[in-house]
Amino acid sequence: MPSDYEILPLRTTDITVQQFAQLTSLFNRIFNKEFAVQDFQRKYTSGCLDYSFHALLIFKNEVVGAFSVIPNQYTYRGDTILMGMGCDSLIHEEHRKDELMLKKLFDSVQPLLMEDNISFLISIPNQTAYPYWKYIVKWKDIGDLSYFVLPVKAGKLVAKKFASIINPINRIIIWAAAWLIAPFFRPTSVAAQEPGSHVSLSRNQHFLRKRFPQDSYLHINSNGMTAFVRFYDEDGVNVAYIMDCIPFSKKNLDYAALYLARHYSGKADLIMYIGRLDFSPTFLYKIPKQKEPRRQPFLGKMVGKQDTPEYFVYDNWDISLTDFDNR
């Protein structure tokens, strides 16, 4: 690595005010966003340790690249495991001459992860980044998250990139059900399965409060169930993402979809859940893989020399957008 460059592996608590400002500016420049420093500070302190792990690429005292890992607590077969979500990998366009630099950033942060007993990493890279993380950094495919949708405004969707998912007959049936059945449909406070049967994110109150702040997410509360919803503009299509339901079950996911269709039809063109399910929702239908708007590849990577093959079996996971920072 040229002498003008330095890689700093840091915990969030060790990042200076100046470095945070530079990192925020770099992210906004590359991804055309308008985040504030406070947004990243909140994000990186949202995990179970109240700090995250970072590798900063420094050029002449300026942050020109980064890779971050946000830790969270998971459970599997009665054990509690610390895992990390890899995110926010970026390098300034003028500093991309070394094609292995992102790998070097990733490698540099691993000792910090091992010090704090982070055993496994997960990520959903975008289409551009996916080949790099799979073939250069050697992350492994676990599976692809699926799309489950309820179209609300078919006319608007037809003119957009979601046109291929419209099934007019399904939409009429589901829309009618939203109005006829929703008033009599009640959620449940009982989870769909026994705890520990899958690799599952620990959705305790500390996590939920930080992951789903009420200034950014709609909270639907009914009969001991809470659903968390994010409204997001996808290239002119207003999508209501059902992020999670606590407790999670088929009945509660259906209730959240019906509730949104009935009470937020003026705000949402499309209701969507993205994740892996062991059941088929009644009021959300699964988009065939060939018609998905974009692939959601779920990758994993062991930290250090540990090896747990069960983590690479897709059917062993309860996984959704809740586990990531996409929405």
Q: Are 109 and 161 contained in the same domain?
A: no
Q: How far is CA 24 from the centre of its chain?
A: 20
Average pLDDT of every residue of the chain = 89
Is residue 87 pLDDT above 90, yes or no? yes
Q: Are 194 and 59 contained in the same domain?
A: no
Asked if 67 and 54 count as a contact pair (C-beta separation under 8 A), the reply is yes
**E strands, 177-236, in order:** 200-201, 218-222, 225-234
CA distance 288 to 148: 10
Is residue 1 pLDDT above 70, yes or no? no
The SS3 of residue 244 is: strand
Q: Given this model, what pLDDT does residue 2 score?
A: 64
Q: Given this model, what pLDDT does residue 157 score?
A: 54
Pairing of strands 118-123, 79-91: parallel
Is residue 158 pLDDT above 50, yes or no? no
Q: Are 273 and 211 contained in the same domain?
A: yes
Consecutive H or E run containing 146: strand 146-151
Q: Are 101 and 196 contained in the same domain?
A: no
Is residue 190 pLDDT above 70, yes or no? no
0.85 surpassed by pTM: yes
For residue 152, what is the domain's CATH number? 3.40.630
Q: Given this model, what pLDDT does residue 256 score?
A: 95
H helices of 116-191, where? 130-131, 154-158, 168-180
Q: How far is CA 269 from the centre of its chain?
A: 21
Q: How many domains does the chain fold into?
A: 2
Consecutive H or E run containing 211: helix 205-211
- Report the percent of the chain where pLDDT is more than 70: 87
Q: Are 83 and 123 contained in the same domain?
A: yes
Is residue 186 pLDDT above 70, yes or no? no
Angle of CA points 41, 47, 52, to nearest 5°: 60
Structure confidence at residue 4 as a pLDDT band (50, 70, 90): confident
Q: Are 55 and 91 contained in the same domain?
A: yes
Q: Are 133 and 206 contained in the same domain?
A: no
Please tell me the number of Cα atoms within 13 Å of 52 on its side-chain side: 22
Is residue 174 pLDDT above 60, yes or no? no
Minimum mean pLDDT range among 52-56, 154-158, 238-242, 293-297:
154-158
Q: Given this model, what pLDDT does residue 325 score?
A: 85
Q: Which of 53, 124, 40, 55 is nearest to 82 (CA)?
A: 53
Which domain, by its residues, includes 14?
5-143+298-323
pLDDT digits (tens, 9 = 90+) for 20-53: 999 999 999 999 999 999 999 999 999 999 999 9
Asked if 152 and 268 count as a contact pair (C-beta separation under 8 A), the reply is yes
Q: Are 265 and 166 contained in the same domain?
A: yes
Fill in the DSSP letter of residue 184: G
Q: Are 134 and 159 contained in the same domain?
A: no
Q: Given this model, what pLDDT does residue 179 score?
A: 60
Q: Are 173 and 245 contained in the same domain?
A: yes
Distances (CA, A) of 100 to 26, 59, 103, 169: 20, 16, 5, 50
Q: Given this model, what pLDDT does residue 151 score?
A: 87
Q: Are 193 and 256 contained in the same domain?
A: yes
157 or 221, higher pLDDT:
221
Q: What is the pLDDT averaged over residues 220-229?
A: 94
- Is residue 131 reached through a cis peptide bond, with omega within 30 degrees of 0 on the bond before it? no
